[in-house]
A and B are shown apart, each in its own frame.
Chain A
Amino acid sequence: MTTLSQLSKDLIGVLLLMLFGYCFFFVDINTNDLAIPASLLNVNSIFLSIVLEAIPFILLGVFASALIQVFVSEEFIQRLIPKNPYIALLPAVLVSALLPVCECAIIPVIRRLLKKGMPLHIGIVILVGAPILNPVVFAATFYAFQSNTSIVYSRMGLAVVACLLIGLSVYFFFKNSNQLRHVHVHEHEEANVGNKLKQTLYHAGDEFFDMGKYLLFGALVASLFQTFLDRQLVTSLASNDYTSSAVMMGFAYVLSLCSEADAFVASSFSHTFSPTALLAFLLYGPMMDFKNTIMLLSFFKKRFAFSLIFIITVIVYLVVMTYGIVSR
């Protein structure tokens, strides 16, 4: 019986490989004879583009995480971070400004760092800060808003403020408790380099699937919104700064854009929305979106993940509204 099921499993694998091989060599990519409704194909195009765009960055994040796992010790991290939890926020913001990574890549890295004993609120600051406070996003925002550079500087400045406040809130509510799901502190008894390399590659493969299933689901839902959500509706929902900022945050959430690209989308709204609402979009999108939520839920305990989403939402909204009132 065991051998039979083993045989059928092997067969599934071989058939899959043959299918991929057939598709690779014999399916003409320039034809499209199957009668599939165009709207479904639009969804598919957007879905695949999100996936293909995110894959390299997830891979980079996964490798960084695997390297940290294998080569960075707990003691090193402990020594690096200031003892005072408030002072420690500052280097955290600095680190997020230096890391040129987007939201897909940062999650596995942060999870690994938290497992290695990085204080929770510091990890969260980097998690929300790195996708906005980075040179690539700065440049992209700059080109998208060449005519209105105040948006660029406000985006960066407000992001720093929001990150610090989010870090403080997380520290206030959760201190340095362990909020990761299934955490096992494990020692590596083997030490030779070959084994470490093998472990790194195994980890990378495993983590890709770990992250990938959430990414795929998130991308699927986001692509449905991307295809069917009428952007006129977004415009019509907004009547003043209070509602339009909220609407733009919701919009950023469902679109799940990469932080490098969201500025271009935001700029297409620049005559229908006030700078305040645009900033709400530009701040909230990289910190929190549909794709992120699913990934966060898989790594953190549910209560913490939802609290974090709540904290981020409230703080971003308050920061942006304050900015709106002050700058008026």
Chain B
Amino acid sequence: MKKIDQQFVVYIRGILLIGFSLLMFKLILTGKIVQYIAPKMMPFILFSSGTFFLLGIIQIWRSSVNKDLTCECSHDHMEKGKIRTTFIYSLFLLPIMSGFLFSNHTLDSSVAVKRGLSFSVNTSDNQQQPADDEKIEVTNSELEKDTNDLLSGDSDETPKNVPTTHQNSIAAKVAPKGFYELLEKKLVKQPKISINDTDYIPVMNIIENNTNQFIGKKIEVNGFVYREKGFKDNQFVVARFGISCCVADASVYGLLSTLENASALKKDTWVHIKGVLKKTTYNGESVPYVQVQQIESIHQPNNPYVYELYQGEQLIGPGE
């Protein structure tokens, strides 16, 4: 009797492995996989899906061959007790079934509220330089001047005096800074910035780190409506969930926005806003905000999440 149980367990394991494999395969085929994990993890998921299928077949085959069951260590792999065994294997069934049935769901603002808006990695301009850099005081005032010049003057000219000196000293050590710098230069020149999904996080970081350089620019962005406690009636955030590896590490990115009667906007509705970038203080920190001029509601995008653009040891630019 015991032997049959063991055989049955191996058999069920094989079937569960195939179930996992089918689920992963379907998520890959339908593209829903990016609602769980970042696209850069895709090769790993493909590998698991294939391996699980193979292992599943092997387990089922093994359950039909009696002598192979007495693998020399199978005793330390088997669970004790019928109820416990049933419970454990139901636990494996749970993600398979819920994955098949509920994969259309994406995180909503109730999760965002619990996490709080992350106002980028580094909020103030000062933080960007290493604290022990002696040039800070000098360069900071230069930076103010330069940005003012830049804002008032012609934006076509390459900003030759913009803080390259101290940033280069970081760039010497940090390879990915190159991408950020290039993107930043490009953005600073543009009178109008339309934030797309691919480089959403880098663009947001740049805007939040160098808000002064972007004040007065026109800006366009998609996102869902989200509010934190203590927002004024005309305030809301056009937010996105940003993911580095999987949805569990999602953080909320977004631009604070102001609009008359903003309280009429329902949370979690997807909107496209156009407006002008300005600066305000929120919770004692200076943050950029968008004075909304035009707003329209849109359908939730196919992929509502945005991703951190780095892979392995290097930062990848969009489309690379």
| Residue ranges of A at the interface with B (Cβ–Cβ < 8 Å) | 2, 5-6, 9, 12-13, 16-17, 20-21, 23-24, 27, 29-32, 34, 36, 38-39, 41-42, 44-53, 55-57, 59, 135-136, 139-140, 142-150, 182, 184, 186, 188, 198-199, 201-210, 212-213, 216-217, 220, 222-223, 226-232, 255-258, 260-262, 264-265, 267-268, 270-271
Count class of interface residues, chain B: 35 or more
B58 within 8 A of A: yes
Whether B4 contacts A5 by the Cβ 8 Å rule is: yes
Whether A38 contacts B108 by the Cβ 8 Å rule is: yes
How many Å from the CB of B154 to the closest CB on chain A?
Answer: 30
CB-CB < 8 A to A220: which residues of B? 91
Partner of A186, one of B36, B73, B113: B73
Whether A232 contacts B116 by the Cβ 8 Å rule is: yes
Q: Considering only CB atoms, which chain A residue lies closest to B14 in the complex?
A: A205
Q: Considering only CB atoms, which chain B residue lies closest to A138 in the complex?
A: B313
Whether A44 contacts B105 by the Cβ 8 Å rule is: yes
B138 within 8 A of A: no
The interface-forming segment of B122-130, B187-195, B217-225, B271-279 is B122-130
Whether A222 contacts B315 by the Cβ 8 Å rule is: no
Partner of B313, one of A20, A135, A149, A184: A135
CB-CB < 8 A to A199: which residues of B? 71
Whether B55 contacts A47 by the Cβ 8 Å rule is: no
Whether B173 contacts A149 by the Cβ 8 Å rule is: yes
* B contacts with A: majority SS: helix
- Which residues B10-31 have CB closer than 8 A to chain A? 11-20, 22-27, 30
Whether A53 contacts B174 by the Cβ 8 Å rule is: no
| Given A55-B48, A216-B91, also A231-B115 (CB < 8 A) | yes
| Given A20-B19, A45-B105, also A231-B58 (CB < 8 A) | no
- Which residues B188-229 have CB closer than 8 A to chain A? 209
User: How distant is the Cα of A143 from the Cα of B177 in the complex, in angstroms?
Assistant: 9
User: How distant is the Cα of A227 from the Cα of B123 in the complex, in angstroms?
Assistant: 26
CB-CB < 8 A to A135: which residues of B? 313
* A contacts with B: majority SS: helix
CB-CB < 8 A to A226: which residues of B? 248
| Given A149-B173, A199-B71, A264-B251, also A42-B110 (CB < 8 A) | yes
Whether B91 contacts A46 by the Cβ 8 Å rule is: no
Whether A231 contacts B88 by the Cβ 8 Å rule is: no
Q: Considering only CB atoms, which chain A residue lies closest to B21 in the complex?
A: A20
Whether A143 contacts B176 by the Cβ 8 Å rule is: yes
| Given A5-B4, A209-B13, also A146-B177 (CB < 8 A) | yes
CB-CB < 8 A to B76: which residues of A? 182, 184
Partner of A205, one of B13, B123, B312: B13
User: How distant is the Cα of A13 from the Cα of B4 in the complex, in angstroms?
Assistant: 14
Partner of A23, one of B22, B110, B176, B313: B22
CB-CB < 8 A to A270: which residues of B? 121-122
Other than A31-B104, A53-B36, give 7 A-B pairs with Cβ distance below 8 A. A24-B22, A29-B26, A32-B105, A42-B111, A50-B246, A51-B95, A223-B248
CB-CB < 8 A to B110: which residues of A? 38-39, 42
Partner of A261, one of B48, B94, B100, B245: B245
Q: Considering only CB atoms, which chain A residue lies closest to B63 in the complex?
A: A13
| Given A42-B105, A135-B313, A147-B122, also A209-B48 (CB < 8 A) | no
Partner of A52, one of B26, B37, B93: B37
Convert B290-318 into 0s and 1s, putting 1 for each residue whose CB lies closer than 8 angstroms to a CB of A.
Answer: 00000000000000000010101111000
Partner of B19, one of A16, A149, A230: A16
